[in-house]
Chain A
Amino acid sequence: MSDILLSIENLETCFRTPEGTIHAVNGVSMKLEPGETLGIVGESGCGKSVTMLSILGLIPNPPGKVVAGKALYRGQDLLKMKDSEIRHVRCSEIGMVFQDPLTYFNPVLTIGRQVSEPLEVHRSLSHKEALDQTVEMLELVGIPRPKERLNDYPHQFSGGMRQRVMIAMALICSPQILIADEPTTALDVTIQAQIVELVKSLRDRLGMSIIWITHDLSLIAGLAQRMAVMYGGFVIEEAPVEDMYAAPQHPYTLGLLGSLPRLDDVQGRKLVSIEGLPPVLFKKPTSCPFAERCNFRIERCNLENPSLRLVDKCHRVACWVNPETRRENQ
């Protein structure tokens, strides 16, 4: 772990609502190396997106607030940056792709203007140079006839094409990190595969790091080197992808993988679902957040919240239960 591009340490974010304070992220730590692809998995509302929006200062305040933690990008704390400094980081150092490509485009501006906007904001280029780069980028993400499509509006593109355009917009200033926040969730399966392939090829060509947020476990497998599983605002397991799929440790990860069909499944195996609902985070959990739904629960789970511990090289889990017990029950 010689040089680390992005290091998030003990990040905590909460939202003040009339019903009370919601602790959305409760001390998340993760690291990203140059050129690495990190997958973040978890169900809705577990704090995946909030973590990413927090480090970029995009949490609307109020009601949201980053309460504690650091987000070091090349040694600089993003959370302590002034507004003008963090603005420069956005898109030109860290790009982001969002889930629903239609609503994230401004309906009254042409694609050309929107894709070239980061250049306009961050680089002092002439109009022509900016347009040339935009065309080049659109071509790179596989938009046919990019020059003619510059003057089209977002609604004139199909969902898959729109997502490609959004990727072009995120990458046009050649950022070091691309954060993809469930970029394929709104697309159908064949288009999903295309987008994943596109991102892979762009990664190989441009050499950026990727943080890929999803709740589709199968998608991560072919894309990421390392993955983190989040639950209730915590990272509960973190491991290289192969280890994670071969030997999942946390009961929640076990549940997630158990709910998916596998090619090497024994015929007739029933897919399991995890009983219960994710916790509502009105107070910072003092016990293991998964305890209520956990089949392996022991007494300690209700008393103390486990922190991430190394169980294997590079494989870290936050669970009190004896690894052997878990494995036997698998």
Chain B
Amino acid sequence: MKVVLKLLKNPTSLIGIVLLLTYVIVAILAPAIAPVPQNSRDPYMIPRDGFKTAPGLPSAKHFLGTTEGQYDIFYGIIWGTRTAFRVGIIVTILTLILGLVIGSLAGFYGHWIDELLMRITEIFLAFPFLLAAITLTSVLQAIYGKISAGPLMILTKLLALITFAQGFDQALNPIQMSILTGMMAIIAFGWMTYARVIRSNILSVKEVEYSLAARMVGANDMRILFRHLMPNAVFPVLVMASMDIGSYVLTFAALSFLGLGAQRGYADWGQMISFARNWIPSLAENWHIVVFPGMAIVLFVLAWNLVGDALRDILDPRMRGRGAGL
């Protein structure tokens, strides 16, 4: 409760929180703000007004104008908020869990387990993040045409269950598939820093006497690790993750921009900007096709960063009394 109060007192984090709340409200009220057309099969597909190539300027009918192919920008931005939250939060949580599990096991058990897991971590770290994500997304998308079962499919279905609340028995359509592959690629190359930080924190707390006391009480390894050690070690990683939500959304937007994340016409900010690729020479007239979706992304990332920054200042005792006026 104290943390929340402090967040509200600090002007920068207050701006972040207000921005975030606005996004949350927009996401919740999306069907009211931008009503779904009657003939629409999927509310996340942006409705089109004709098939003319040239973008249309803002007008009474299209509040923020239309993009190439007459997709409504206003509708896309509103429903894209849901995509952004969905991708950002789910990717962050799953990346965090993956990193926490790998890092804490390495730190807790040490010896060869530590060596093995940390070498794997380093291998993953060796790839440039965006490049690796792009490659993995396209590889996954190529593979999915050919397989229908196996562990990869189970993973994808699990992710679909979390992301779209879609049952295990239902088949995945290509639109969902391309979003899921993008998310998987980001998760696969995002967990390493969390793993490293949690490992070092676990290492420093596992030799402290209370872990012996917990052992004495009769607790098993998992209980000691997750109940006794984790709460002492996890906070720095949580703060890191809260600051990373924005950057995961940004990465996903980049994938979509390159045509890898969300499919053409899907309500996703990065995908909407990709419509502007052919109109770069004439952006002076068609400024709206970049500015509006771009602003949505920038403000979203900014909001998370402001909140994450403030959270770090509040939770890190070394920063207390310095900076940010907390």
Contact = CB atoms under 8 A, between A and B. Distances in A.
Interface of A: 56, 58, 83-84, 87-92, 95-96, 98, 100, 103-109, 117-118, 121-122, 169
A108 B232 contact: yes
Interface stretch (B97-105, B182-190, B216-224, B263-271): B216-224
B215 interface: yes
Interface string B59-75: 00000000000000000
A90 B218 contact: yes
Contacts of B213: 98, 104-106
A285 B243 CA distance: 59
A88 B232 contact: no
B214 A96 contact: no
A87 B216 contact: no
Contact of A107 (B214, B216, B218, B232): B232
B212 A169 contact: no
A327 B220 CA distance: 52
Q: Which of B217, B223, B231: most chain A CB closer than 10 A? A: B217
B217 A117 contact: yes
A183 to B, nearest CB: 13
B218 A58 contact: no
Contacts of B218: 87-92, 118, 121-122
Contacts of A56: 216
A104 B210 contact: yes
Contacts of B228: 106, 109
A271 to B, nearest CB: 33
Contact of B223 (A91, A103, A121, A169): A121
B42 interface: no
24 contacts: A58-B216, A83-B220, A87-B218, A87-B220, A89-B218, A90-B215, A90-B216, A90-B218, A91-B218, A92-B218, A95-B216, A96-B216, A103-B208, A103-B209, A106-B231, A106-B232, A108-B231, A108-B232, A109-B231, A117-B219, A118-B217, A118-B218, A121-B218, A121-B219
Contacts of A106: 210, 213-214, 228, 231-232
A169 B217 contact: yes
Contacts of A92: 218
A264 to B, nearest CB: 40
Contacts of A88: 218
Contacts of A104: 209-210, 212-213
Interface residues on B, range: 10 to 19
Contacts of B219: 87, 117, 121
Q: Which of A88, A95, A107, A117: most chain B CB closer than 10 A? A: A117
A86 to B, nearest CB: 9
Nearest to A88: B218
A100 B215 CA distance: 16
Q: Which of A89, A92, A107: most chain B CB closer than 10 A? A: A107
A91 B212 CA distance: 12
Nearest to A113: B227
Contacts of B227: 109
B217 A103 contact: no
B227 to A, nearest CB: 8
Contacts of A117: 214, 217, 219
A117 B220 CA distance: 12
Contacts of B223: 121
Contacts of A118: 217-218
A103 B210 contact: yes
B111 to A, nearest CB: 8
A56 B215 CA distance: 10
A301 B222 CA distance: 50
A88 to B, nearest CB: 7
Contacts of A96: 216
B306 to A, nearest CB: 27
Given A103-B209, A122-B218, 13 more contacts: A58-B212, A90-B217, A90-B218, A91-B216, A92-B218, A98-B213, A104-B212, A106-B210, A108-B231, A108-B232, A117-B217, A117-B219, A121-B223
Contact of B217 (A100, A107, A108, A121): A121
A127 to B, nearest CB: 15
Contacts of A121: 217-219, 223
A91 to B, nearest CB: 5
A60 to B, nearest CB: 9
Nearest to B210: A106
Contacts of A84: 220
A165 to B, nearest CB: 12
Nearest to B221: A83
B134 to A, nearest CB: 41
Interface in B243-295: none
Nearest to B228: A106
A96 B217 CA distance: 8
Nearest to A103: B209
A117 B210 CA distance: 13
B214 to A, nearest CB: 7
Nearest to B220: A87
Given A106-B228, A109-B231, A121-B223, A91 B217 contact: yes
Nearest to A117: B217
Contacts of B214: 106, 117
Nearest to B215: A58
B217 to A, nearest CB: 5
Q: Which of A104, A107, A122, A169: most chain B CB closer than 10 A? A: A104
Q: Which of B213, B218, B223, B227: most chain A CB closer than 10 A? A: B218
A216 to B, nearest CB: 21
A13 to B, nearest CB: 16
A91 B220 CA distance: 13
Contacts of B231: 106, 108-109
B209 A98 contact: yes
Nearest to B233: A108
